[in-house]
Structure 1
Amino acid sequence: MTLLATAGLQSAAATALQATLDDHWRGAYDILVTSKKAANDDLLSPNTLIGDGERMPVAELERIRAIDGVDVAAPISQLVVPSIDSTRLDFAAPVDESKTTLDPQDYRLRVQYMTDDGLGERLALSKVYRLTLDTTNAPRDVPVDRSAYDDQGCTTEIDGISVDCSYEYPPTEMRYTAMIQDEAPTDAMMEMGAGSSVTSTVIDGKVVFQLPGVALPPTRITLIDPVAEQELLGDGGDFLDPLVSVGAGSQHEIDELAAWSAKRPEDEFSDVIDKALQQQQASIAGWKTSGQYQEYVSKKKELGQEPRPPEEIFPPARYVPVLVAPVKDVPLSLRVDVEGMGPGELPDVASAYWAVPTIDNAGVDGVPLGSITADVQSLLDPFSTHALVLPWLGESDAVPETGEQGYAGAYLGQAARSTMTPPVPRNGVPTLEPTGYLGTSMEIYWGGDPSYWIQMGEGTVAGAQSAYATVKAEQLQQPSDGGGTFMLPIAGFDADAIPLPDDPLSSVPLGAYDPAKTTLVADASGEAIEPVDLLPVAGGLGLVGARTSAIADIGALSESLNDRDVDAVRVRVSGVDRYDRGGIAKVGAVAEEIEGLGLAATIVAGSSPQTMALAVDGYAFGTTDADGVQNVGPLGTVEQQWSALGAAARLGTSVSAATLALLATVIAATLALFAVASLSSPATRRSEAATLRSVGWPRGRIVRWLLAEQWPALAAVLLAGGLAALLAADDALVLSTTASVVFAVIVIAVVRAVVGSSGERMRLATADELVRERPEDRPEVRWTNAPDVQDHAGYGLPDESMPEEEVVRDSSHPRRRMRLGAESLVAFGLRLVRGDAGNAIGNAAAVLIVMATTACFVLSLGLGQAEAGTSLIAQYGTAQALAPQLALGVVGVIAGVLLTILARAQALHRRRRSRAVLRELGWVGSDIRRAERSEVLVVGLPAALLGCYLLWFALDTAGLAGIDTAVSAALVAGLAVVALLLVTTRKAATAP
């Protein structure tokens, strides 16, 4: 029955394991192709798809797709561009209709942008501006005297024709109504002309002025092949339909996009495309009616030549369609504290040359007038064509309203590649160290080398954010004939709503719309804290990467790249359905062919997320004090989900090995206990053999007779083995196990028969010998007033062959309990160990075997879980296999318990006549129970303690882990066997 149960449970474990692997061994793709090895210690970081310093030419993509067996090859790459439009925050101050004369007033604006990195609110940017504002209803049109202007004329060349490009100024201009200056501009700002701005805008009775541009974080753009990406994502790729239907792989003119948009009239992005079309049409119409073009047409006709249309002379812009996502995971709020500084002065628009008034009271405190606060997270949407309009002081709470703003389309003028820095070992702990910090000045992000986005230094400046990435400029190409390249949003997507492949057990990095989660779990001292999910604050260059702001067609955007590279290619292999040798071989064969192209092919099929603990150093903690200094130092320990390569293979190997180890342990323990039960008490069998030999049986016949007793057991084993073969998943394993068990049973039976047949011949005693005088003093058995004898069962009792009248001399004498060579019942129990050594050895063997079985069981489970690893599929798979493995162990324990009870019952059965004699001699059940308990304890307890020591010594010598748990469990099991023997003794002792 043990064999049948173990085979069935082993089959159940194997079936559960195979089902787990079949369902969870493949993610969205099987192979990750990069320029060089992507994994570190068989762990794939979540930033692997961002790329590194080396990338693959896009031409390699077609070579990969040409490999036999490749079902899908989906490239992915990323670009980081500076803040595309950072001047979208307007204020609207109502015009005072009652005032008709100019009355400009000066204000100090203390502007603070606040964000949150998950640890609390922190300052992102702090600036102090000087605003001069006039909200009076004074006349707005101001006559301008142009006589002071030089009128030297201007000429330009169009299509080989020289034309006049002089500008005709209007006689009047709108007076200035607002001017903003940086109260402490840097030299770089002055060189860029970013120190001040003036405006004359009045809309619907409100003076509208713009807050200067802010240093918004860089924008991350993900580049994909929309057709291949849809195949990779399956149903989750529907959000890419616009990029596919608009025409993948190339840039477009606005007319093409407008024709496509006309088929989607209800789409919210139709207005954006229409605006871009209107901009181009207005530009062409304005150019066509300009004096320059008219002069060009006239001169062409004079030459008898056909003038070229405006769109041929200056080609229109080319557009890269992009999908944009709302910003959700980066909080951003605004607070503007306003101070009155008294009367001010605005530049005179009528003056030919005017200068910005000098600020001579920068250090003087103003009069606090109030604050304006608002949620301005939408500023982080780089492709928005709308401004946020905030009400000026005196209005209700600032609720941003959208207003017309900006040019439809973002000019692709600067781009970079970023690489997340890998952790470095420090004191044996993988540690993330910063590469610098992101600056807080807008001029850093406009013009020049993008590598300057990351500043060197201590990072203690308020608002600085630690960067954990490097940035390298990407060379761009623009059309030589003009027009330029723009990125134009044609549709939106919500990363939270994308139904990505939903199998967390086999998840691998998919892309920037599937960002890694980073959780702080311990502080800098290593003390565990309540887990905190960190938020991105640095545009994807900080500790936590922000989600992508846009998804673009890699083929279309690559037309503007000097180096047309991709970061990675995700490959799915065709014809793979199950986790079996065939499926694994197909994936491996494709990976080998990719390696033959000189690329790195990392097999991610069979991977699973695994928690990775990283120490973080050099973290800028942030501050809310604009004049304060940030603390920079160790953050603590964060956890991320990395992908453990080969997790499925490790799970399969470890669970199979653990199950087989448990199977072998149960079978071996059962056979050992069976051997103990079969070979114990050889004296009884020798006595029977002696009797048989006395009547003339030869020893060979006795051996055959004893062997015949074992045929039922052997037949039962063969029957159980046959049934097990029908149940088991591995017939070869069951057949070999059955053969081993049959062989062991045969060996035990032969040994039992040979040893039990060795009894000596007996002869009948003579009458004189039967009535011979008994010895006067025998220490083994003695009455208080009579000599002692010893029986053959281990008790010190009168020989049953003696006449009863010789055992009891005086029947009229009161019956008293006899003393059997010991001063107490406990001492008598100790003598039983020597008197019945076979039973004592059997008890000790039962304790030691069950202890060894328990230790092997615990070790097998522990080692199996350790070998499987800590990935999610390992935890899930080992949990699935745990039930049949525990049941397997329970079967072994039950078999051990039954055999232990059987062996003990046999030993007690052999004592039934001696126990009856003891009762006749005045012993009661409690006397017998105490004596036999003493026998069990004096053998069982030392065996349990000795077994613990031997187990600990053997396991420690072998260098195995988890020995404390195994030895402790073994001790509990050993004591349980001792208790079981005691219970069996009690029941037998109280039997009539």
Structure 2
Amino acid sequence: MSRTRVPGALRRLLRQPLRVTAVVLLAATALAAAGVHGSAATMLASTVDENWRGDYDILVTATDQLADVDGMLPPNALAGGEKGMTLAQWQRVQGLDGVDVAAPIGEVLVPALKRADVWLAIPKEKVRAAADQPEAFRLTTTYTTDDGLGERIVDRRSIPLVLDGTGTPPPTAEDVETCRANAGTVAYGLTDTVEVYVDPARYPALVERMCGGEGWRMFGTGPSVNFPSDDAWGARFATSGDDAIAFNLPAVPDSTTRITLVDPESERRLLGDRGDFLDPLVAVDTTTPVDMARVSAWAHREGGAFADRFDGMLRDMVHPEGTDEEMLREWRQLYSENALDYDATIRQSFEGEGITPLIISEAQIAQLTVRIDLEAFGPTERAATVGYVVPDSVSSGAPGEEIGSTVADVSSILNPFSSAADVLTWPGRTPQRTRR
């Protein structure tokens, strides 16, 4: 066969439509990619130009933990190490010729800045229903969150719970009189170094606090909700004014608060117009310590909701809840007879306490949901000493009679600056979520 009759490469390619299509698509893709690359490079250069603040270096102190990668900082380099730079070291760096410290920054992690509480309100009629004999239950709490990929379990545990409607007998008249007669042997600690003894005849209001209804209630009388606590048994008691007994759930997840420490003036200069949120910190006078007295004066001057809460906190320190005017008068008298001023002594207990101004982030907190499952296991017995002898099936995991479940969003407990606690309702009751 003559070579002149063999078709050329282009003709052979054209005779295969699939290959032609593939070549055309590859060429188009290459052209598009080149255009995208050029546009991306232009946008990147424009963004850098808009935000460029000149040449600078970041001084990293975590040399004991993370080594550099080809001369560059590895991820989380600023969070590594056990020790940071001291103020003295920073001032030495700041004093070097040709070195300008733009905005020093530090971080403090504070676990459990506040106690997180979730309460279960157990109706009194449920407790009184166990008047003939205590009733055993298993309480299972499951805390979950959602990381965007699905629900994740944070904590799950079960504990025995005993409702005891029989209660502890209230004190007899003889018990009360015995308490009053022995009140003088009960020491009142006025300060860390001073203890005095109460004369029942001269301090009847204080003795009533010890030997009256409130004093006996602290030792536990009446219907109760009982639960294991620190290898013993704890209890919550019913009071006459409540329609339920509030029981705080065990093992509530605590959050860790991240506090960023900044020099507000230098940080404000570094951020420019975007740093105007730091103006309140810049305005704080740092030449004198920020103590309780100074904040109190500021609160009175500024007024508003914070001032009211702050003044209320100071009043509660001097005049605690449950202290009536007669009791307060006796307290002042008791202090005076021991060469102490009651109000001054109470205030001295928090004098010198430092207060640090904070700006609280408005970022959303994590989602946290709790599910409460209750199972009944029937009557149980009081232990010979303290607590109850619950059925073995409670701790073995054997199923009991299902009472019901309650599910609630309790994300607010992760907010370290919220003082309220969530109070959930007993399963089977009308769904209601209140704040304690």
1:355 pairs with 2:386: yes
1:328-380 Cα shifts (integer Å, max 9, x gaps): 35322111111122245789xxxxx9722233433353210111111111121
Aligned ranges for residues 64-463 of structure 1 at < 5 Å? 64-67=93-96, 73-96=102-125, 102=131, 105-133=135-163, 142-143=170-171, 145=175, 147=178, 152-154=185-187, 163-164=196-197, 168=207, 169-172=210-213, 173-174=216-217, 175-182=221-228, 189-190=230-231, 196-200=234-238, 205-248=243-286, 252-262=290-300, 265-266=303-304, 269-270=306-307, 272-282=309-319, 289=328, 294-300=333-339, 309-311=344-346, 314-316=349-351, 317-325=353-361, 328=364, 330-343=366-379, 355-361=386-392, 362=394, 363=396, 364-397=398-431, 400-403=433-436
8 Å CA contact 2:109–2:258 kept in 1: the answer is yes
The structure-2 alpha-carbon separation of the partners of 1:29 and 1:368, relative to structure 1 and needing over 3 Å to count, comes to farther
Uncovered stretches (5+) of structure 1, i.e. residues with no partner: 1-15, 348-352, 404-992
8 Å CA contact 2:145–2:369 kept in 1: the answer is yes
1:40 aligns with: 69
1:836 aligns with: none
The structure-2 alpha-carbon separation of the partners of 1:293 and 1:56, relative to structure 1 and needing over 3 Å to count, comes to same
CA distance in structure 2 between the partners assigned to 1:17 and 1:107 by the alignment = 64
- Structure 1 residue 118: deviation in Å? 4.1
The structure-2 alpha-carbon separation of the partners of 1:154 and 1:307, relative to structure 1 and needing over 3 Å to count, comes to closer
The structure-2 alpha-carbon separation of the partners of 1:84 and 1:159, relative to structure 1 and needing over 3 Å to count, comes to closer
The structure-2 alpha-carbon separation of the partners of 1:296 and 1:216, relative to structure 1 and needing over 3 Å to count, comes to closer
- Structure 1 residue 133: deviation in Å? 3.5
Aligned ranges for residues 561-576 of structure 1 at < 5 Å? none
8 Å CA contact 1:80–1:218 kept in 2: the answer is yes
1:31-75 Cα shifts (integer Å, max 9, x gaps): 322336674324334523324234211123333444566665422
The structure-2 alpha-carbon separation of the partners of 1:66 and 1:208, relative to structure 1 and needing over 3 Å to count, comes to same
The structure-2 alpha-carbon separation of the partners of 1:181 and 1:22, relative to structure 1 and needing over 3 Å to count, comes to closer
CA distance in structure 2 between the partners assigned to 1:89 and 1:308 by the alignment = 34
CA distance in structure 2 between the partners assigned to 1:220 and 1:154 by the alignment = 42
CA distance in structure 2 between the partners assigned to 1:378 and 1:129 by the alignment = 24
CA distance in structure 1 between the partners assigned to 2:337 and 2:289 by the alignment = 35
1:661-682 Cα shifts (integer Å, max 9, x gaps): xxxxxxxxxxxxxxxxxxxxxx
Aligned ranges for residues 780-795 of structure 1 at < 5 Å? none
- Structure 1 residue 290: deviation in Å? 7.2
2:317 alignment partner AA: Q
CA distance in structure 1 between the partners assigned to 2:372 and 2:321 by the alignment = 41
CA distance in structure 2 between the partners assigned to 1:55 and 1:255 by the alignment = 32
Aligned ranges for residues 701-716 of structure 1 at < 5 Å? none
1:122 alignment partner AA: R
1:63 aligns with: 92
1:379 alignment partner AA: I
The structure-2 alpha-carbon separation of the partners of 1:88 and 1:220, relative to structure 1 and needing over 3 Å to count, comes to same
1:582 aligns with: none
1:595 aligns with: none
Q: Which structure has the larger Rg over C-alpha atoms?
A: 1
1:358 alignment partner AA: V
- Structure 1 residue 124: deviation in Å? 1.1
8 Å CA contact 1:72–1:231 kept in 2: the answer is no
**SS in structure 1 at match of 2:421:** strand
RMSD after superposition: 4.7
**SS in structure 2 at match of 1:324:** coil
1:311-333 Cα shifts (integer Å, max 9, x gaps): 46534444333333467353221
**SS in structure 2 at match of 1:320:** coil
The structure-2 alpha-carbon separation of the partners of 1:130 and 1:150, relative to structure 1 and needing over 3 Å to count, comes to farther
The structure-2 alpha-carbon separation of the partners of 1:113 and 1:60, relative to structure 1 and needing over 3 Å to count, comes to same
- Structure 1 residue 384: deviation in Å? 1.7
Uncovered stretches (5+) of structure 2, i.e. residues with no partner: 1-41, 200-205
- Structure 1 residue 246: deviation in Å? 4.6
1:791-849 Cα shifts (integer Å, max 9, x gaps): xxxxxxxxxxxxxxxxxxxxxxxxxxxxxxxxxxxxxxxxxxxxxxxxxxxxxxxxxxx
The structure-2 alpha-carbon separation of the partners of 1:96 and 1:107, relative to structure 1 and needing over 3 Å to count, comes to same
1:632 aligns with: none
- Structure 1 residue 110: deviation in Å? 1.0
1:341 alignment partner AA: F
CA distance in structure 2 between the partners assigned to 1:355 and 1:140 by the alignment = 12
Q: Which residue, out of 49, 55, 78, partners 1:49?
A: 78
8 Å CA contact 1:90–1:390 kept in 2: the answer is yes
- Structure 1 residue 24: deviation in Å? 5.0
1:432-462 Cα shifts (integer Å, max 9, x gaps): xxxxxxxxxxxxxxxxxxxxxxxxxxxxxxx
1:163 alignment partner AA: V
1:360-417 Cα shifts (integer Å, max 9, x gaps): 433353210111111111121123210111121223445x3322xxxxxxxxxxxxxx
CA distance in structure 1 between the partners assigned to 2:145 and 2:126 by the alignment = 39
CA distance in structure 2 between the partners assigned to 1:245 and 1:25 by the alignment = 27
CA distance in structure 2 between the partners assigned to 1:128 and 1:385 by the alignment = 27
**SS in structure 1 at match of 2:246:** strand
CA distance in structure 2 between the partners assigned to 1:276 and 1:262 by the alignment = 13
CA distance in structure 2 between the partners assigned to 1:114 and 1:307 by the alignment = 48
The structure-2 alpha-carbon separation of the partners of 1:276 and 1:226, relative to structure 1 and needing over 3 Å to count, comes to farther
CA distance in structure 1 between the partners assigned to 2:99 and 2:255 by the alignment = 39
TM-score normalised by structure 2 residue count: 0.67
- Structure 1 residue 116: deviation in Å? 3.1
8 Å CA contact 2:331–2:342 kept in 1: the answer is no
**SS in structure 2 at match of 1:276:** helix
